[in-house]
A and B are shown apart, each in its own frame.
Chain A
Amino acid sequence: MAEQNESIPAQEQAAAQDPAAQKNAQLLALLHRLFGADAFTDVEEPYGLLTATTTRERIHDIIAGLQQDQELQLNFLTTMCGMHWPEKEGQELGMVYHLHSLTQNIRLRLKIFFPITDPVVPTLTDLYSTANWMEREAFDFFGIIFPGHPNLIRILNVEDMDYHPMRREYALEDGTREDKTDLFFGR
């Protein structure tokens, strides 16, 4: 997602002695030391928040490792949410995790992408109790499946809904209307 982060304000890029940038560098060094540099791609710092993309095979180990780590103690799962990029062939769906170290005050954003035909992601419910409803929400909205989740049912929408409404193919406006085009309304 390199193209997303082109327009970071210049003062944030230039802040070499900025304590936030130093913390990010420290965190990135820790990530590389614990899990290897090849585990992460697209490492960016949009608006000062270290962001890295990894794979769904490694995401559970990485978050578990960071939870156990005593140096930076990234053991607070702030939030996680699904995403849908229909134009990205083979990487349509994504999950975004926000981790926070309450002792060091460092945040980390981890992303994974996977094909929509195989939307299976390891569950984090064994690490964080809070992941339970967040994963149910991601399942409800995007149809992402978390094997091992204790109770993967819809949470906000009704049980008998037969689609996952946050996917991009479901337009918010009535699709049969021609007077409300995207050109003038919405995106």
Chain B
Amino acid sequence: MAVNDTLEGTHKIIEEAREQQPRINPLAPTVNDFNQELTTLNLGPTHPATHGIFQNILQMDGERIISGVPTIGYIHRAFEKIAERRPFYQITPLTDRMNYCSSPINNMGWHMTVEKLLGVEVPKRAQYMRVILMELARITDHLICNGILGVDTGAFTGFLYLMDEREKVYEIYEEVSGARLTTNMGRVGGMERDFTPVALQKLRAWLKSFPAVMQEFEKMFNRNRIFMDRVVDVGGISAERALNYGFTGPNLRAAGVDYDVRVMNPYSSYQDFDFEIPVGTKGDTYDRFMVRNEEIWQSLRIINQALENLPEGPYHADAPHYYLPPKQAVYKNMEALIYHFKIVMGEIEAPVGEVYHSVEGGNGELGFYLVSDGGRTPYRLHFRRPCFIYYQAYTEMVVGQTLSDAIVTLSSMNVIAGELDA
């Protein structure tokens, strides 16, 4: 009863507020006015160029875009609500499904958030293993984005060529975690198992073969006249506007701001590695493409360093309250059985507190704001999803451009529907 009263009160306030402040609805008119020769065009929800399910209602004057209204939420799965009923380790599969092109980064980011809350120190070897996997994920994420940008400009070859490489990385994931796309990789406290000899062998073989492919891809695109004509000075954004719009990641760096979480707030031993942060100047599609390409090279540098200096030692923290014991021990050892039961039933003791942790995701600062009230699940969990935050700038970036420019702009922003909607 009380609930309904409050709700009615709320709706009344909403109505009043709307009456006072008439909604400036920038929705394009649905009736096409032939006198002005303006056309309303639905770009999406299932358009091949959106690479996911979201809609843009564009108002066009001939080939030029006059205004646009993005509609999102087509694959909203209420992760923040679901997370309020799940123990910490069951939230990892939810994070997989946000930016599904780079699931390991999401997984590790979430594990690190919980570790920060619980005060678990992860051994160096596990941190280096995480770095290797996260950088592999960054590479696959950027490969997808740049490969598809090629497709949207009409160059299919590069995309197929790169997909083959992504396949090899997925085989490495498979050796490490058993899964390929939604990896559910690692655990709170470290990794679930050490790198197997096969995984290391596949990783080394890939590190040897991939640079040649990447060089060929760059040779095909970077100074290609046709490609450059399509992407240079298209969909640009100034550094100032990008910051105001909360851009992070490659899209912000393309605009010339060298903000990278890996450097500014190093996590998982990123301070041990020597790498550079590429920045662009104009923030246009070409800059975004080039920044991503260069980041792939820098990620390779990091992986090589991490693999070379991979420390010996345990691959998970000595935290029996939080880290599942080996299955064999559960059958033989009473303590292991107790810990196993408590962890699986979510009976671990979490401190009361709130923690914000962010990692450099494929698209920018991926943040986790976790509020714990000491219960077995988060009291509130908010995901800072970079896609959700920067996609709102899309309209501003494409107004005044042609439809084909809007397509490559969208493509180069790397909007992942799973992360957009969560």
The reply to whether the CB of B367 lies closer than 8 angstroms to some CB of chain A is yes
Known: A117-B6, A187-B376. A141 touches B388 (CB 8 A): no
Q: Report whether B14 and A79 are in contact in the complex, using a CB–CB cutoff of 8 Å.
A: no
The reply to whether the CB of A118 lies closer than 8 angstroms to some CB of chain B is yes
**In the complex, what's the smallest C-beta–C-beta distance from A84 to chain B, in angstroms?**
8
Interface string of B396-422 (1 = CB under 8 A from A): 100000000000000000000000011
A11 to B396, alpha carbons, bound, how many Å?
46
Q: Report whether B257 and A117 are in contact in the complex, using a CB–CB cutoff of 8 Å.
A: no
Q: Report whether A7 and B353 are in contact in the complex, using a CB–CB cutoff of 8 Å.
A: yes
Q: Report whether B354 and A46 are in contact in the complex, using a CB–CB cutoff of 8 Å.
A: yes
Which residues of B are found within 8 Å of A158, using beta-carbon distances?
A: 73
Q: Report whether A78 and B384 are in contact in the complex, using a CB–CB cutoff of 8 Å.
A: yes
Q: Report whether B382 and A151 are in contact in the complex, using a CB–CB cutoff of 8 Å.
A: no
The reply to whether the CB of B47 lies closer than 8 angstroms to some CB of chain A is no
Interface size class of B (residues with CB under 8 A): 35 or more
Tell me which of A31-39, A58-66, A126-134 binds B. A126-134
Q: Report whether A102 and B78 are in contact in the complex, using a CB–CB cutoff of 8 Å.
A: no
**In the complex, what's the smallest C-beta–C-beta distance from B307 to chain A, in angstroms?**
29
Q: Report whether B265 and A105 are in contact in the complex, using a CB–CB cutoff of 8 Å.
A: yes
**In the complex, what's the smallest C-beta–C-beta distance from A28 to chain B, in angstroms?**
18
Which residues of A are found within 8 Å of B351, using beta-carbon distances?
A: 7
The closest CB in chain B to the CB of A20 belongs to B265
Q: Output the residue of B86, B257, B353 with the most chain A CB within 10 A.
A: B353
The reply to whether the CB of A169 lies closer than 8 angstroms to some CB of chain B is yes
The closest CB in chain A to the CB of B382 belongs to A81
The reply to whether the CB of A119 lies closer than 8 angstroms to some CB of chain B is yes
The reply to whether the CB of B76 lies closer than 8 angstroms to some CB of chain A is yes
Q: Report whether A132 and B392 are in contact in the complex, using a CB–CB cutoff of 8 Å.
A: yes
Which residues of B are found within 8 Å of A134, using beta-carbon distances?
A: 389
Q: Report whether A47 and B116 are in contact in the complex, using a CB–CB cutoff of 8 Å.
A: yes
Which residues of B are found within 8 Å of A185, using beta-carbon distances?
A: 85
Tell me which of B32-40, B238-246, B282-290 binds A. B238-246
Chain A interface residues toward B at CB < 8 A: 3-9, 46-47, 49, 51, 75-79, 81, 83-84, 96, 98, 102, 105, 107, 109, 116-120, 128-130, 132-134, 137, 141, 143, 145, 147-158, 162-166, 169, 172-173, 184-187
Additional 13 contacts, C-beta under 8 A, given A5-B353, A9-B119, A162-B11 = A5-B354, A6-B353, A79-B246, A79-B389, A116-B10, A129-B246, A129-B392, A133-B389, A143-B10, A147-B21, A155-B72, A172-B84, A187-B84
- A selection of 30 A-B contacts at a CB cut-off of 8 Å is A5-B352, A9-B119, A46-B355, A47-B353, A47-B354, A47-B356, A49-B356, A78-B358, A78-B365, A79-B246, A79-B367, A81-B369, A98-B369, A105-B265, A119-B10, A120-B13, A128-B246, A130-B244, A145-B13, A147-B17, A149-B21, A151-B23, A151-B25, A153-B23, A162-B11, A166-B80, A169-B3, A173-B85, A184-B345, A185-B85
